[in-house]
Structure formats: structure tokens, C-alpha cells
């Protein structure tokens, strides 16, 4: 038979170790409060009373047991059982109380019932930050000529040819260096080119480069340059020709990947 120990003091004593309970065998005793029996039966009555699962939320019953055991070793053990402030001490008092009851012919075993541990609470799951996505992209073809001299320049695509009037050099159509121009990338263009011709002297180089700026959500824009073609010429009326003939470059996809979106 298990004795529920909801005593305020005992609950505090067993807060770390669980709930102390009592069980045993013997003739059941009446739970009705009654005058203390003859001294020789005090211990027997108290132990039998505890054995029969008395309601420990009823402080009058607790006082009845304490009154039966007043002035005895068992009374001191019962007081320790109820008032001890630590689970280890309460367990020791329970063993002493069981021994006292055994001497009176009543078997009562005190055990500590440890409440089942509550399931650990999983930490609140934090939602992963959304993966960055590309918001926009600029794709430009850059034509450049640099070096010495005043070359005449032509640049463009298979469908867009340009001849900037420079106003310099022996022929009056040369361009001051360094020189540059841009066109939007056209995936349908068959080629891109820049041609620079010297006018009697100089040393020049030219290039065609694709420049892509990728804008990703939650990040700074990333700009990458993809060289497409280079040329060089020196002296006389030689021509530096830089021409890309590979069609669609596919660099926009690479730039998006490199930007992480």
C-alpha cells in the first residue's frame, strides 16, 4: 500500500529526490481520529496508521501520528521524515522509521518515488535565412585602345558598326589614347570587334571585354570582367584587331553563380 506524501514540509524535503511513500502489511487501522491508545500500543497504532495510506494532505492526521509518537525515538524519526530539508536525509529518516515500525510488528517500507523526468524541450527551431536570389544584372561589352599615337578606331558587332571621329593625328581622324566605348551585350551577335589603325607611328593594344555586375538579395553587387579578345600593332599604318567570334558567351550564368545567387 502506498502512502501519498503531499505534506508541505515533506514535499519540500523531497523536492530533489521525489516523493516518499510507505507500504507494508498488517491489520488495517481506523482512520478516525481517536484518543491515543495505551502507551504500549502507541508505536503499533502509528505504524499501522501510516501503513494504511492515510491522507497526508490532512494535517490533523499528521498531528495524530505525531501525538502517538511524542517523546519517543520513533517520534523523532517521524519528525525528521516530515521536516528534513534534503532527499538524502529524508531517505535515512525513512529507513529509521521503518526499523521503528518493525520493532512494533508492523512492516512498513519507505521508498522515494522519483517523478519521471519531463521530456527535454527542443530549442525553438530557427528558420534558416532564405537563400539569396539575383535581383538584376547588367551586361556590357567594353572596347578599349591604349598605347602611343593617334589611331583611327572602329568597333561594334556584325550588325552595329561605329567609327568615332577623333580629330587627331596626321589625317585628322585619329583618337587620343587611352580610348574606350561600350555597347550592351547582345546574345544574338555573331561577333564583337575593335580595330585601331596607326597613322604613321605609335605602338597600340586593344581589347574586347564583357563586364557583368550581378545584384543579389541581401548582399552587395559583384562585378566581374570576362576578356573576350586582344590585339596589338606597332609602327606605320599597322592595325591592332581584337575580335570575338564565339557568339553567345554564357558569362552571365557564370557571374550569377560567382556572386552566390
Overall residue count recorded for the chain in this entry: 261
Position 13 scores a pLDDT of 33
Position 52 scores a pLDDT of 65
Task: Respond yes or no on whether the N-terminal peptide bond of residue 178 is cis (omega within 30° of 0).
Answer: yes
- The answer to whether position 169 is within a domain reads yes
User: Do residue 13 and residue 69 come from a single domain?
Assistant: yes
**36: which 3 cell numbers?**
491515543
Position 150 scores a pLDDT of 96
Position 181 scores a pLDDT of 98
User: Do residue 140 and residue 238 come from a single domain?
Assistant: yes
User: Do residue 46 and residue 77 come from a single domain?
Assistant: yes
Q: Give pLDDT tens digits along the chain (261 positions).
A: 334 333 333 333 333 333 454 555 444 444 443 433 334 577 887 787 777 655 545 567 778 788 888 888 888 888 877 776 556 677 787 788 888 888 888 887 766 544 444 555 656 667 788 888 999 999 999 999 999 999 999 999 999 999 998 899 988 899 999 999 999 999 999 999 999 999 999 999 999 999 999 999 988 899 999 999 999 999 999 999 999 999 999 999 999 999 988
Q: Which domain holds residue 33?
A: 8-113
Measuring CA to CA, which residue among 111, 85, 79 is closest to residue 98?
A: 111
Position 118 scores a pLDDT of 52
**239: which 3 cell numbers?**
592595325
User: CATH no. for residue 243?
Assistant: 2.60.40
User: Do residue 105 and residue 138 come from a single domain?
Assistant: no
Position 26 scores a pLDDT of 43
Position 157 scores a pLDDT of 98
User: Do residue 68 and residue 150 come from a single domain?
Assistant: no
Task: Report the sign of the C-alpha dihedral through residues 244, 246, 248, 250, in that order.
Answer: negative
Return the DSSP state at 168: B
Measuring CA to CA, which residue among 180, 205, 209 is closest to residue 192?
A: 209
Position 38 scores a pLDDT of 38
Position 84 scores a pLDDT of 67
Return the DSSP state at 53: T
**56: which 3 cell numbers?**
497526508
Last residue of a domain, one of 47, 81, 113: 113
Q: Provide the number of structural domains found in the chain.
A: 2
Position 232 scores a pLDDT of 98
**43: which 3 cell numbers?**
508505536
Helix (H) or strand (E) holding 165: none
Position 86 scores a pLDDT of 52
Amino acid at each position: 500500500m502506498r502512502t501519498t506524501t503531499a505534506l508541505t514540509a515533506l514535499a519540500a524535503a523531497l523536492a530533489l529526490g521525489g516523493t516518499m511513500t510507505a507500504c507494508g502489511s498488517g491489520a488495517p487501522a481506523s482512520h478516525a481520529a481517536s484518543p491515543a491508545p495505551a502507551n504500549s500500543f502507541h508505536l503499533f497504532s502509528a505504524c499501522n496508521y501510516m501503513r494504511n495510506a492515510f491522507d497526508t494532505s490532512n494535517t490533523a492526521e499528521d498531528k495524530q501520528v505525531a501525538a502517538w509518537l511524542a517523546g519517543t525515538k520513533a517520534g523523532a524519526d517521524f519528525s525528521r521524515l516530515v521536516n528534513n530539508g534534503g532527499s538524502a536525509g529524508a531517505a535515512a529518516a525513512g529507513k529509521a522509521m521503518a526499523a521503528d515500525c518493525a520493532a512494533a510488528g508492523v512492516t512498513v517500507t519507505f521508498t522515494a518515488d522519483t517523478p519521471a523526468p519531463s521530456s527535454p524541450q527542443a530549442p525553438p527551431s530557427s528558420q534558416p535565412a532564405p537563400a539569396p536570389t539575383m535581383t538584376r544584372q547588367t551586361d556590357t561589352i567594353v572596347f578599349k585602345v591604349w598605347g602611343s599615337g593617334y589611331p583611327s578606331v572602329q568597333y561594334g558587332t556584325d550588325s552595329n558598326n561605329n567609327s568615332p571621329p577623333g580629330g587627331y593625328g596626321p589625317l585628322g581622324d585619329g583618337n587620343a589614347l587611352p580610348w574606350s566605348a561600350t555597347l550592351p551585350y547582345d546574345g544574338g551577335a555573331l561577333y564583337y570587334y575593335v580595330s585601331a589603325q596607326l597613322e604613321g607611328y605609335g605602338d597600340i593594344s586593344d581589347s574586347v571585354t564583357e563586364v557583368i555586375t550581378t545584384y543579389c538579395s541581401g548582399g552587395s553587387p559583384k562585378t566581374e570582367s570576362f576578356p573576350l579578345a586582344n590585339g596589338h600593332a606597332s609602327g606605320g599604318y599597322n592595325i591592332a584587331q581584337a575580335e570575338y567570334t564565339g557568339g553567345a558567351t554564357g558569362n552571365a550564368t557564370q557571374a550569377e553563380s560567382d556572386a552566390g545567387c
